[in-house]
Amino acid sequence: MSQKRMHRVDVVVVGAGGVSGAGVLRALCTATNAKVVGLEQYGEPGMVNSHPLANAGTGHRGVEPNYPREKIAAIYRKSGYLWRTVRAKQNPLLAEKTHHMILGVGKAECAILKERYKMLLETFAALGADIANDLEFLDREGIQMLEPKVIEGRNENEEVCAILDNNGLVVDFQVLARELLNDAKQANPDLDLRFNTQVDTVSFDGEKELYRIETDEDVFLAKALIVTCGADSLAFAQRLNAVDANDHSILSIAGNFWSAPAMVNGKVYRYQAEGIPFSNPHADKVMSKVMSKQVGMSLGPTIIPVLFTERNKWGTVPGFLWLWARSPVRGIRSLFKVLFEKGILGFAVEQFFDGLPIIGKKRLLGKFRKIIPTLREQDITKRKGAGGIRPQLVNLVTGTLEMGNKIFKGFHSRFVTTPSPGASIAVAEGMEVAKEIIAELGPDYFFDEVAFESAVDGVIITASRRESHKELVC
């Protein structure tokens, strides 16, 4: 058996091809002096949840029907880095501006959306955000002007209204991952970025304070480890005893998408109750190059719980089951508690029936028709091979769903799980993770804020210039 090659490095990023790993790598390579390795199991960036067929491509910035105030503020702040990156790149394949419309159907939903609109204006005003200028509350006529198919064929007595964001973004997160990795390589030509490199074994030597990361051919001894493998990040975190990791499990929620002829001009959401982490289906004019080869309009995601941590990859089923089997009593208790909370059981039953053959399609058609009343059954086709997985964390101590992104922390290590809107905040989260890890590594390392901010705005400062800049600052 051939000997594996051994490398000593500062930081290893596992899952380098997703938008989260790419975000971390860009921050490490544009702003620090760390020796960095990125490892990715597939042959190119963005092949799993960051692929345009896997997600809804929404650039989230806090204008949502179901986020609480503090989440709106956090997403708004973090998504600013995405908006700046898009502006700097000027890449038509990366993103497109479009309107986002949150549609309320019926008296009750419109009353809630009216309140929601007020709340959004107040929240953005408190943040000093000029985003309020992009928002409008629309009545039937306003909707008809922008999205005639949303009104065509609708019962005249049915009340409809919408919150409109005139300045929304649709993003191809695979292109984003590619752009971020290009920046990383440009800033630090020594970056060791390896594709087709799967990591199975990671251990920690407490005495030497080094992580040992093994691939088929190499062993990396690293002072710090960052894992950005979506749902699989939790298993790594548990193996390495990261804080709280063993008190969590994951519900793998897959999203399906449907194709139809183009009938909308932007993105039309439905109203969504607070506390339900899975969004109602929306209708999207398709903008990404990959998707537009297949469809004119995208409908979805419609959701379904699955036993994979990566969609349709059967090899990930044992790992998923192990997440629950290692703590079965707490697991079952938590599942029951989650199901009976906040109407999630009703929601789950509904999704089950939506997933059934024949009647499922008819049921979904009914939901899609809330957006486009004239949609016909023959217009919609399930998009094959589309739809990623949201790793929805379950806290086994409290028996509750944990909404949004969670980053588990270990000794000089981070494990990033990224349900929606993870891709929209990946640039900012990458920076935060990189900054924290570099601070933990001690005084031999620095995080150059100026260099990072400059990279976000499109000006890369190379490693050698950064070193001299650091000396000047000191």
List residues binding ligand FAD (CB under 6 A): 14-15, 17-21, 39-42, 47-50, 54-58, 60, 173, 198-199, 228-230, 232, 255, 301, 387-390, 418, 420-424
Shortest Cβ 48–ligand FAD spacing (Å): 3
Residue with smaller CB distance to ligand FAD, 89 or 154: 89
Shortest Cβ 255–ligand FAD spacing (Å): 2
Residue with smaller CB distance to ligand FAD, 308 or 411: 308
Shortest Cβ 389–ligand FAD spacing (Å): 5
Residue with smaller CB distance to ligand FAD, 116 or 267: 267
Residue with smaller CB distance to ligand FAD, 53 or 160: 53
Residue with smaller CB distance to ligand FAD, 61 or 412: 61
Question: 227: closest CA among 209, 211, 210?
Answer: 211
Shortest Cβ 111–ligand FAD spacing (Å): 27
Residue with smaller CB distance to ligand FAD, 83 or 446: 83
Shortest Cβ 42–ligand FAD spacing (Å): 5
Residue with smaller CB distance to ligand FAD, 17 or 65: 17
Shortest Cβ 296–ligand FAD spacing (Å): 19
Shortest Cβ 447–ligand FAD spacing (Å): 21
Tokens in use for 448? 């150059």
Residue with smaller CB distance to ligand FAD, 50 or 249: 50
Which residue is at the shortest CB distance from ligand FAD?
18
Residue with smaller CB distance to ligand FAD, 34 or 199: 199
User: Residue 97, Cβ neighbours under 10 Å: how many?
Assistant: 13
Shortest Cβ 51–ligand FAD spacing (Å): 7
Shortest Cβ 443–ligand FAD spacing (Å): 31
